[in-house]
């Protein structure tokens, strides 16, 4: 593969200059975010914002066009009983389901995200990963969620991981690239921070915590470290990069804590679906239930909220 | 590095709606007498002073101003209780009472937190999560020692001293009362305690707790008043032991007054702690530690990390991150659960802090404050940092006792240590590095009572606390804290 203007410009950063991370301090900071009290109008605004930031996801071996169509209907009709709700940011599916999603979402302003690059393990050759990416883009994906090669990263071959991201970014064309670090396999917050910087310098539009297939998936701790890396990268380059925690965020309360963390770490500019996403399959209904509670004063039965 | 073009924006946009803690459940009387011999009594001369809410300048209650005759009565009650009940009680029984006090504080934690924030101006988050739980923890901890003193001092007998006269400051009103009363009672002493005149309410509520716990009359006496009342307690011939927390100036006066007497004493005085950030530190967590070190409790902390030393190679990064972090600090209503920085404790203290801001600027320091809005009424000071200052400047040398940080840079380890020690104080210090050996080297070379490594302002009843040099005499807390309240024999 010949080098293009894009990947010749990308330079592997000096990862030894990435600041260390102290886990105890990170835990303390996270506890502070969790002790914020978000009430009334601030809560309603937060809940609506959360809905608009959701990447409604189905990533299962048993996925079928039927299942994906149903998910897309949910994306379009979150809860029609409540007018004025935003729609979710995207649906997130496997590459073979992109065409189905595109058809189901036609005429709606909802992005189609596709995982690619031999998701979730990433254990394949670069050419297979690039084909996977191109196929998803060609089928209509507007966003690509790639995985990094954790094995190579853990063995210290940062150059390999970097070049792979650069190549996938190029294969994405106009599609936005989210780079999944799979933090549950990286093991330490120091590595999370280094991997974040590496991914951003390689051209990531978003960095994302997890595939959802490995435990632990997203935690506030890793998300904070990644947000701080985004801030450092922004300080250094002036380029904004988005953040997507994925997996394990299923309640409104937790999602609001993530918003508080985003708000106090990166500020207002990032408080939009353009720069922050939740990768989640069951979060939306809990948010809807809380929104109904805020407007009616009572909790409604889960049976009133559609499950797709 | 952050340039003006790529700065983060924290103002406007999504904000937190007010989340005030309710005050419906608290009981504050219109007027408080002196708690002497198990009951509230009017002061002999009948004079009272106001205690105000520093966030609104509204009066909360009228507080008795104790004169010499009242102090006489309190000391006599304490002496009598020591002689007839408390001093002779089985240690295990004493422990039961102290446990009971601890439990009642826990049960009334919400009321204590709200009153502490109303009277003192500190954010409810801190009184709820730090002051009140720690106060209860001190009583629990020392209750456990009451019948185990023989193990605290192996091979020796530990006898109580008698009557302890205790004078405490306004920055941690309930917690300081707990620090003083708990070890005194555990060792079999009785107490005459004076809370600060700007923050007497939680000590008076603690008096109610002592009464409700069934503590024998006279074991704990709370007398309120200003400096003259404190002097009367300390100079009283019936007092066997003096415990004081406050300014170094007053500490000096007390030490002079006590010279030549047989009174045992502990003094916990001022500080100007060095907080040292090395280039290899976890920078973002260090920034949190800097914030916690100087802005915790509006900087009204004797062990505050008020002198920051940053290694030059990371100084710009640390300062710029600190400035961004300061923008996210919420200054305002102490009762709001989201408030990070509350009201300055009193008008007098605010004036003192403001005079230092002027001094800092006139000395050539560059002052930066967060852009937050502060309420019109009440006493407020935005979080403030000074850069471009040095050891030669007064804002670096003197204790400001407010949310004001003086930042200096250094190049080498030994330079940082020299500057850290270049102060008459020696209460606390902090070090931020990823390297363990540096931590040990620093703890050996900085002359301060507490050194925090990769954290700051952490307190625990099991840990001794106290100063070197002009930061004080003696230790409070932990096993060491017992020593101040016993007479050791063989």
Domain segments of chain A: what residues?
5-12+21-293
21-40 in A: which are within 8 Å (CB) of B?
A: 21-22, 24-26, 28-29, 35-40
- B405 class by beta-carbon count within 10 Å (0-12 exposed, 13-18 middle, 19+ buried): buried
Residue A244 bears catalytic tag? yes
Say if residue B264 is in the same domain as residue B281: no
Say if residue B221 is in the same domain as residue B292: no
Say if residue B200 is in the same domain as residue B234: yes
Tell whether B22 is covered by a domain.
Answer: no
Which pLDDT band holds residue A4 (cuts at 50, 70, 90)?
very low
pLDDT, one tens digit per residue, over A128-172 is 999 999 999 999 999 999 999 999 999 999 999 999 999 999 999
Number of domains into which chain B is organized: 2
Q: In this structure, what is the dihedral angle of CA atoms B412, B417, B418, B420, given to the nearest 10 degrees?
A: 120
Q: What is the C-alpha to C-alpha distance for residues B98 and B147, in angstroms, rounded to an integer? A: 12
Q: What is the C-alpha to C-alpha distance for residues B217 and B226, in angstroms, rounded to an integer? A: 24
Domain A5-12+21-293: CATH architecture, name and number where available: Alpha-Beta Barrel (3.20)
Say if residue B250 is in the same domain as residue B292: no
Tell whether B160 is covered by a domain.
Answer: yes
The predicted pLDDT at position B2 comes to 55
Residue B478: left (phi > 0), alpha (psi -120 to 50), or beta?
left
Q: What is the C-alpha to C-alpha distance for residues A49 and A68, in angstroms, rounded to an integer? A: 24
In the sheet that holds B48-53, the strands lie side by side as: B31-32, B58-64, B48-53
The predicted pLDDT at position B4 comes to 55
Q: What is the C-alpha to C-alpha distance for residues B405 and A50, in angstroms, rounded to an integer? A: 37
**CATH number of the domain where residue B151 is located:** 3.40.605.10
Check if the beta carbon of residue B360 is closer than 8 Å to that of residue B367: yes
50-79 in A: which are within 8 Å (CB) of B?
A: none
Q: What is the C-alpha to C-alpha distance for residues B74 and B217, in angstroms, rounded to an integer? A: 11
Say if residue B385 is in the same domain as residue B475: no
Residue A208 bears catalytic tag? yes
Tell whether B14 is covered by a domain.
Answer: no
Stretch A179-198: mean pLDDT, rounded? 98
Query: Do A268 and B12 make contact, defined as CB atoms within 8 angstroms?
Result: yes
Query: Do A264 and B10 make contact, defined as CB atoms within 8 angstroms?
Result: yes
Any CB–CB contact under 8 A between A16 and chain B?
A: no
Say if residue B94 is in the same domain as residue B209: yes
- Supply the range of the domain harboring residue B327: 274-453
Instruction: Tell me the CA end-to-end span of chain A in Å, nearest whole number.
Output: 42
The predicted pLDDT at position A163 comes to 97
Choosing from B21, B126, B187, B302, which is the catalytic residue?
B302
The predicted pLDDT at position A5 comes to 45
Say if residue B219 is in the same domain as residue B294: no
Choosing from A55, A132, A145, A163, which is the catalytic residue?
A145
Say if residue B262 is in the same domain as residue B311: no
Stretch A41-50: mean pLDDT, rounded? 97
Supply the DSSP symbol for B20.
B
Any CB–CB contact under 8 A between A19 and chain B?
A: yes
Compare CB distances from B16 to A25, A38, A237 and report the shortest one's residue: A38
Tell whether B319 is covered by a domain.
Answer: yes
Say if residue B433 is in the same domain as residue B474: no
pTM given for the model: 0.96
Q: Which of B13, B16, B124, B313 to mutate to test the interface with A (most CBs of A within 10 A)?
A: B16
Any CB–CB contact under 8 A between A191 and chain B?
A: no
**CATH number of the domain where residue B299 is located:** 3.40.309.10
CB neighbours of A294 closer than 8 A, spacing ≥ 6? A43, A44, A47
Tell whether B374 is covered by a domain.
Answer: yes
In percent, the amount of chain A with pLDDT more than 70 equals 97
* Mean per-residue pLDDT pooled into runs of 10, chain B (490 residues): 72 92 97 98 98 98 98 98 97 98 98 98 98 98 97 95 98 98 98 98 98 98 98 98 97 96 96 98 98 98 98 97 97 98 98 98 98 96 98 98 98 98 98 97 96 97 96 96 95
Say what angle helices B173-186 and B132-145 make with each other, to 10 degrees. 10
Say if residue B361 is in the same domain as residue B422: yes
Say if residue B178 is in the same domain as residue B293: no
Say if residue B197 is in the same domain as residue B138: yes
């Amino acid at each position: 593969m010949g080098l293009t203007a894009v990947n010749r410009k990308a330079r592997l950063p000096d990862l030894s200059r990435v600041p260390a991370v102290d886990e105890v301090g990170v835990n303390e900071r996270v506890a502070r975010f969790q002790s914020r009290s978000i009430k009334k109008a601030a809560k309603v605004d937060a809940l609506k914002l959360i809905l608009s930031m959701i990447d409604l996801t189905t990533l299962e071996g048993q996925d079928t066009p039927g299942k994906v169509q149903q998910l897309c209907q949910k994306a379009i009709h979150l809860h029609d009983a409540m007018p004025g709700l935003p729609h979710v940011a995207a649906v997130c599916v496997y590459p073979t389901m992109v065409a189905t999603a595109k058809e189901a979402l036609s005429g709606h302003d909802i992005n189609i995200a596709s995982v690619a690059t031999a998701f979730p393990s990433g254990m394949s050759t670069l050419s297979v990963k690039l084909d996977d990416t191109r196929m998803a883009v060609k089928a209509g994906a507007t966003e690509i969620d790639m995985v990094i090669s954790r094995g190579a990263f853990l063995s210290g071959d940062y150059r390999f991981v970097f070049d792979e991201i650069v190549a996938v970014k190029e294969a994405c064309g106009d599609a936005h690239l989210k780079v999944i670090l799979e933090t549950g396999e990286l093991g330490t917050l120091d590595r999370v921070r280094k991997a974040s910087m590496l991914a951003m310098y390689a051209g990531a539009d978003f960095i994302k915590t997890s595939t959802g297939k490995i435990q632990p998936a997203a935690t506030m701790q890793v998300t904070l470290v990644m947000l701080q890396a985004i801030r450092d990268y922004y300080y250094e380059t002036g380029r904004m990069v988005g953040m997507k925690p994925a997996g394990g965020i299923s309640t409104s309360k937790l999602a609001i804590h993530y918003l508080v963390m985003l708000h106090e770490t990166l500020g207002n500019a990032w408080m939009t679906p353009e720069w922050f996403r939740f990768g989640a399959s069951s979060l939306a209904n809990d948010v809807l239930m809380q929104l109904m509670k805020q407007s009616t004063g009572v909790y409604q039965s889960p049976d009133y909220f559609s499950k797709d | 590095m952050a340039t003006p073009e790529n700065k983060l924006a924290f103002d406007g946009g999504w904000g937190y709606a007010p989340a005030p803690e309710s005050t419906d459940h608290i009981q504050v009387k219109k007027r408080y007498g002196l708690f002497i011999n198990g009951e509230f009594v009017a002061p002999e001369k009948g004079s009272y002073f106001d205690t105000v809410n520093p966030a609104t300048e509204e009066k909360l209650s009228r507080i008795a101003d104790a004169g010499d005759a009242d102090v006489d009565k309190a000391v006599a009650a304490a002496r009598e209780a020591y002689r007839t009940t408390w001093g002779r009680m089985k240690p295990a029984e004493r422990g039961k009472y102290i446990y009971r006090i601890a439990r009642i504080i826990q049960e009334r934690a919400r009321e204590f937190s709200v009153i502490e924030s109303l009277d003192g101006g500190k954010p409810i988050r801190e009184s709820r999560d730090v002051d009140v739980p720690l106060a209860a923890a001190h009583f629990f901890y020392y209750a456990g020692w009451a019948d185990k003193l023989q193990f605290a001092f192996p091979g020796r007998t530990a006898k109580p001293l008698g009557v302890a006269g205790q004078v405490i400051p306004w920055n941690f009103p309930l917690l300081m009362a707990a620090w003083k009363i708990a070890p005194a009672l555990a060792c079999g002493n009785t107490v005459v305690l004076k809370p600060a005149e700007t923050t007497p309410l939680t000590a008076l509520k603690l008096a109610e707790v002592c009464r409700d716990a069934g503590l024998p009359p006279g074991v704990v006496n709370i007398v309120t008043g200003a400096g003259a009342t404190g002097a009367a307690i300390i100079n009283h011939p019936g007092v066997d032991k003096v415990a004081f927390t406050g300014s170094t100036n007053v500490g000096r006066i007390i030490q002079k007054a006590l010279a030549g007497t047989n009174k045992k004493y502990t003094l916990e005085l001022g500080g100007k702690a060095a907080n040292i950030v090395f280039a290899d530190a976890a920078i973002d967590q260090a920034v949190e530690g800097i914030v916690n070190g100087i802005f915790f409790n509006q900087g009204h902390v004797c062990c505050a990390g008020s002198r920051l030393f940053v290694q030059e190679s990371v100084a710009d990064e640390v300062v710029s991150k600190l400035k961004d972090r300061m923008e996210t600090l919420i200054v305002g209503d102490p009762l709001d659960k989201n408030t990070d920085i509350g009201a300055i404790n009193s008008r007098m203290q605010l004036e003192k802090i403001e005079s230092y801001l002027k001094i800092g600027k006139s000395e050539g320091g560059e002052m930066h404050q967060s852009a937050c809005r502060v309420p019109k009424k009440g006493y407020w000071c935005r979080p403030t940092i000074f850069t471009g200052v040095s050891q030669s400047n007064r804002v670096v040398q003197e204790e400001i006792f407010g949310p004001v940080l003086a930042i200096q840079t250094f190049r080498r380890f030994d330079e940082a240590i020299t500057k850290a020690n270049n102060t008459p104080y020696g209460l606390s210090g902090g070090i931020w590095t990823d390297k363990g050996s540096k931590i040990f080297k620093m703890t050996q070379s900085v002359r301060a009572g507490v050194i925090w490594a990769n954290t700051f302002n952490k307190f625990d009843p099991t840990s001794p606390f106290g100063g070197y040099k002009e930061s004080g005499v003696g230790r409070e807390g932990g096993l060491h804290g017992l020593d101040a309240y016993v007479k050791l024999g063989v």
